[in-house]
Chain A
Amino acid sequence: MNRQEILSELKKVLTPYTENKEMLDGINEETDLIKDLKINSANLVDIIIDAESQYNIEIDFDAAEKMYNVGNCIDVIAEKINKTA
């Protein structure tokens, strides 16, 4: 998967957790999950679990802490996908 494909799938993961659907349509690698998408921090673990399921990967503690914006999420997911490939 390239970064654009990961981003496209990531939108589906994030959809249930943001009420800012307009912002979600226009997300880019700089978009902050909490500040921009107004995702409640209590849903961060849900997003990690859903991402694990969506991409068939496992995201550990250390990787999860980097997932504060979309670009970092893509970095972590791409790295994990490459490791399992």
Chain B
Amino acid sequence: MISAGNDIVALKAVDLQRTGLPAFYSKFITKAEFALHEHSALPFTTFVWLLWSIKESAYKYFKQLDIGLMFSPSKIIVEQLTLSDQKQSNNLQCDLPIETCFTGVVIQNDTSIYFRSVINADFAATTIDSGKVYWGIKSIAKSDYKTQSDAVRLLALKALGDIVTSDDLWIDKHPAGGYPILMHGHHVVDIPLSFAHHGNFISYSFQIP
């Protein structure tokens, strides 16, 4: 089975002062993961939220494979974090400047998967990079939940429309898992999707079988 998982954190919508407190970051970053910060060349608070976005992306990916899975970020371990020169890729739709790109490996319950992350001063975004993955990032004018939710669906459907030749695609929510599913009429399309939004940023990721 294939899956999809992504996340985005709006860095200006978080409390950076609180982020730097051990009481905060030690809730989900393990001691072994701290060693990754030194080589990341990132401000510590950005590093913290980058790791959060990686862990959340991995959780979303594994959740689609195991609906009963609970989010336990301290048990999702970022094993490898490598600076990458490849800031753009053919499968990333993003018209915002990207300052830094990382690739790496994240592990949950002995299962490891690859991820790709992009960062600028405003956001840290990650997608699980397993198989033929397409993802997109966009800024939006309003940050309320409905605007975010509508905008990310629209953006994903537009990207899917370039790949899947059908004019009857729509997005539903998995009744038990709560994650997005692509529909064609009354049928589920076998293209796993993942959505993320925070503050004035939205992001989708999907994997083509």
Contact = CB atoms under 8 A, between A and B. Distances in A.
Contacts, number: 45
Contacts of B198: 40, 42
B71 interface: yes
Given A19-B144, A35-B178, A41-B56, A48 B27 contact: yes
Point out which of A38, A40, A44, A49 has the most chain B C-beta atoms below 10 A from its C-beta: A40
A65 interface: yes
A64 B18 contact: no
Interface string B86-97: 000000000000
Interface residues of B, number: 23
B14 A42 contact: yes
A4 B57 CA distance: 35
A54 to B, nearest CB: 14
A42 B144 contact: no
A35 B178 CA distance: 8
Q: Which of under 10, 10 to 19, 20 to 34, or 35 or more describes the interface residues of A?
A: 20 to 34
Interface string B12-46: 01110010000110011000000000000000000
A68 B71 contact: yes
B72 interface: yes
B113 to A, nearest CB: 19
B14 to A, nearest CB: 6
A68 B72 contact: no
A57 B15 CA distance: 22
Given A19-B145, A35-B178, A42-B9, A49 B71 contact: no
B70 interface: yes
Given A42-B13, A42-B52, 18 more contacts: A19-B144, A35-B178, A41-B7, A42-B9, A44-B71, A48-B27, A49-B23, A52-B23, A61-B27, A61-B28, A61-B75, A64-B72, A65-B70, A65-B71, A65-B72, A65-B75, A66-B70, A68-B70
11 contacts: A20-B145, A40-B197, A41-B71, A42-B9, A42-B52, A44-B71, A45-B24, A45-B28, A49-B23, A61-B27, A61-B28
